[in-house]
Structure 1
Amino acid sequence: MKKIALITGATSGLGKAIALRLAKEGYDVIITGRRRERLEELEKEIEVKYESRVYSLCFDVRKYNEAEQAISSLPSDWKTIDILVNNAGLAVGLSSIHEGEVDDWERMIDTNIKGLLYMTRIVSPIMVEQKSGHIVNIGSIAGKAVYPNGAVYCATKYAVNALHQGMRMDLLPYNIRVTQICPGAVETEFSLVRFKGNQNRADKVYEGYENLNADDIAEAVYYAVSQPAHVNIQDMLVMPTAQATGNMFHKEEKK
């Protein structure tokens, strides 16, 4: 019987790549996100490319009632979720603490922390009842080392790191694996969202070195979930070769 994987934030970037990678490997996938059009496009792409089933749910992880209603609406043959990938997350703004915009802080806290908590609270009881499952939390290098002007984003990812460790302890008696994967610089919509649509500023983040791409992280997720049942990949930090810390890079100068 095929395993079912639920991926949040699947409309672009890491989430989309993870959904495609798992579908390619024969997992049935539940894709979620706020952009219905993109969910429909991804659903068609998976159906055309792979033999896996796909089911899409359009909702906002920041709203508990929406998330709960969406998961409750799943048909009975989709309810036995084996893998939850808590991927939905974002950075908004890059400013010092005394100049930060409170609305930006709210978006990051609501998505990166509360969204992850809500989805875990809704899905983990299914796994507890099954006495099996795997939760993959997408963290960040920002949850390992703080960098200037990113205090609030870093704080949300430090929270993910703490929640990940707590989940591992709380779910240990139920044969549930918990993995955290922390990427460094990955070229997705991440910087475009952070800089609120400023493409030039976003592009500069990835100039002068070879960054990670979404498929690199999808490969890491697949590696973790495909291990034998007795193996738990607890924490994985994945960085570009040209990056040492959250804000330290070796970049080639333009000639």
Structure 2
Amino acid sequence: MKAHLQQVTSPISVSFVIQPDKTNIYEEFQKRIHLLHSNGISTTVEKGTIVIEKGNITKQKVDIIIGSSSSDALRQGIMKAAESNINTAYEAEQTRSPNSIFISLEPDNPNWNGTWRGSLTNYPMRPGSSAVDVLMEIGPYPTSDNTCTVWRNTYLQGGEVQAVKDYRLCRGQGADDLVIDEGNDVKLETRWIGDVLVTPFKYDNLLLISSTRLRGDILEEEIVIIDDKPAIKGVQSMHTRAIQRIELKRVKS
């Protein structure tokens, strides 16, 4: 790195000679030299140029930001850069670059596979209710048609298993054809909405909406439980009975 700084500030050439058998040292030099160069691609369109590069969006002017909507690091980076003046900074950037846009890419293959451990909480909480521990096992995301992966939840209290939901996440024909297979011919349609896996279903007189997402290093499943009513034309008020939330941290990939 010191040699690189000297080369930037002075018109000098620097050479390193490494013994042929020291391949590990040579490879390390390759990695470090590669990091010194801008990682980007560009193309010419008529009289203009389109440049795509990696950079710090909080420190340089940009026209378009391309990122994953599941990337919590991106959100945290923007929040940290703006600190307490985030609203002022955002409005100022909007005024300075009114034509800037943010392109959000939906996750293709979410990296959720592994073993997760955490707890389940019901809201409103019942007085005297004990905590429920949850162990969740998720297999590699199904990327091929007509394939399934493990989607298993084990519920424990006081170290004893209370219930096991041995489900599967299955892909049918195409990436948008997803179901949670509970067994016994019960299959719940599920869908990606942004970076959230949403599974709505009914059970008896209840309407339930399950939302699963990754928030930083926390895998969260939240189920909103609503008293169902027969459909009518126009707006109909419905009563929300409870929210069940599971928060998990990965313990094994």
TM-score band w.r.t. shorter chain: under 0.3
Higher RCO (Cα < 8 Å, 6 or more apart): 1
Bigger proportion of residues as strand: 2
**TM-score w.r.t. length of structure 1:** 0.25
Max radius of gyration: which structure? 2
**TM-score w.r.t. length of structure 2:** 0.25
